[in-house]
A and B are shown apart, each in its own frame.
Chain A
């Protein structure tokens, strides 16, 4: 007899038998109702649905109101597409270039889109200064007081990287402020000659 202290992984069978069906059914409502893989909705992997509700072979095309950016891995503009937030400004130009020039397989495609996102945020921040409703970062922060910010985080390991969040949010502001300060100093120096 092999020593019973040798764990299952080193012998042929699992050492702790699984509880019986009766036991599991008594303990867990519905245990085993989907036991038969053929009865699960994801089975088989390529399941041909009888009726999806579609009454077309290829859908009618939604009108394209401006040149809609699209992946070069598509044969054409898909018949239906979202029309939210058309590309605008410098960020729009970067985004359009990312779509037109690089396929989804290229890192450059995604990195340009990330750059587009940061430019978009900066463009809106500038615009918001000129508006009557400037952006206030992380307005939800007041819930730190109303919903137990400290109490909720006690002993949690992720509290450590939460400390970085303000840096991520304020980073661009601090960088902009730093840049502006350096610029002003240079200007002052230049004026003083």
Chain B
């Protein structure tokens, strides 16, 4: 089969690989019909996640058709069209039993501090991912769901991660009616976080980024006010000014390890890998929130320590909330929102690349060329 393969920082290509096989009685093998590149994949692409091995196939946002099932699989049949959450989880450990699907203890031998994720290095379990023609799906009775008839493929693939994470980010903010919510990052995650903040009763939503096409999308898709940090010498001061010097009641950090805006953080993080990513957005979140406010972090960071302004968070009495998204827990409610048109993930899809052009897709998305917000990947056999 054809599969995206990592060849080292900034190098990916498509190679021939054997089709995955059933390795556990509750496995399924899924033929991928549509996949996507996530902002998280950029952390791997830039070589920032420890134990990303040459030959690894990325991809944790994908939908497809069940091709094969293991002997103990009860809930799926060959031929079912499924959407697969980016988390690999068992459904039965201490954490899964409490709904913490992204923190499953039974699927990632390499680390206890993070659960299992498809195509996301050995640090999250060493599973090949879905930017490929076929993928092994462990715990087929627990993770995947059949795609409802009314749902578009675009919405389905985005619900496996980016959209679910935006919605989850807004929930972590514990928004109260009338709150002023600042969303850092107008990528796929930030855009849905902004949409979701309204559903939870925000009184004002302000989205911060510096890419004009993304800020435009925040205004049209999420009815948000926008702030371009390239236009301000100090965006934290601007956040204070715009909130009558209080700071934001809730800040949702939807940027993560690639954050721009501070050259030293960029150099020591993404470029030199001396810290687990650039902490610029995280520090803006801490400094831009009001005292006693909440910072919700869905932006992802590596396991190496970061230069974070923890003292400010402590002195301001902030509540910090964060996690990898337990995707499947978001679905029942999110399906209603998508069906009613309150959330419209498909609106942010800008590009489609055939799997064979994976290197081009990564370069365009990573460098944010051509107004790219969300690129989808179409496998050759789809």
Contacts and interface: CB of A to CB of B under 8 A. Distances in A.
Given A32-B199, A34-B200, A85-B122, A69 B109 contact: yes
B18 to A, nearest CB: 11
A45 to B, nearest CB: 9
Interface size range on B against A: 35 or more
Contact of B138 (A80, A136, A148, A157): A80
A158 B171 contact: no
A192 interface: no
A178 B244 CA distance: 57
A137 interface: yes
Contacts of B148: none
A158 B99 contact: no
B72 to A, nearest CB: 7
Contact of A110 (B50, B244, B337, B359): B50
Contact of B92 (A56, A73, A113): A56
Nearest to A165: B10
A29 B246 CA distance: 28
B122 A60 contact: no
Interface string A34-71: 11010111110011110011111111101100001111
A58 B360 CA distance: 43
Interface residues of A, number: 97
B246 A144 contact: no
B139 A54 contact: yes
- Chain B CB within 10 Å, residue with most, of A62, A80, A143: A80
Contact of B337 (A33, A77, A137, A152): A33
Contacts of B24: 59-60, 62, 79-80
Contact of A40 (B75, B101, B200, B211): B200
Contacts of B320: none
Contacts of A165: 10
Interface string B136-147: 001101100000
B370 interface: yes
Given A53-B141, A139-B11, A156-B210, A81 B223 contact: no
B217 interface: no
B80 interface: no
A55 B108 contact: no
Interface stretch (B155-163, B183-191, B281-289, B326-334): B326-334
Interface string A61-103: 0110000111101100111111111000000000100010000
B138 A117 contact: no
Contact of A142 (B10, B267, B360): B360
B199 A30 contact: yes
B26 A59 contact: yes
B369 A144 contact: yes
A45 B174 CA distance: 11
A124 interface: yes
A48 B9 contact: no
A107 interface: yes
A153 B364 CA distance: 12
Contacts of B304: 107, 110-111, 114
Contacts of A124: 7-8, 54-55
A32 B201 contact: yes
A31 to B, nearest CB: 5
Interface in A114-128: 114, 116-117, 120-121, 123-125
Interface in B243-292: 243-247, 260-261, 263, 266-267, 270-271, 273, 290
Contacts of B245: 7-10
B118 to A, nearest CB: 9
Contacts of B128: 82, 84
A140 B359 contact: yes
B234 interface: no
Given A35-B201, A74-B109, A165-B10, A85 B368 contact: no
Nearest to B270: A161
B62 interface: no
Contacts of B367: 144, 149, 152-153, 162
Interface of B: 7-13, 23-26, 47, 50-57, 72, 74-75, 88, 90-92, 96-101, 105-113, 116, 122-123, 125-128, 138-139, 141-142, 168, 171-172, 174, 177-178, 196, 198-201, 203-204, 210-211, 223, 229-230, 243-247, 260-261, 263, 266-267, 270-271, 273, 290, 302-305, 329-330, 332-334, 337, 340-343, 359-364, 367-372
24 contacts: A10-B245, A30-B342, A40-B200, A41-B333, A42-B172, A42-B329, A52-B101, A55-B72, A69-B109, A70-B109, A80-B90, A85-B53, A85-B56, A110-B304, A123-B54, A124-B7, A125-B8, A135-B11, A136-B11, A138-B11, A140-B362, A147-B360, A168-B9, A168-B271
**For the complex of A and B, 4 pairs with smallest distance between CB atoms:** A140-B363, A30-B342, A82-B126, A54-B91
Given A78-B109, A117-B47, A157-B229, 10 more contacts: A24-B203, A32-B199, A32-B201, A40-B171, A54-B141, A74-B109, A84-B122, A139-B13, A152-B369, A165-B10
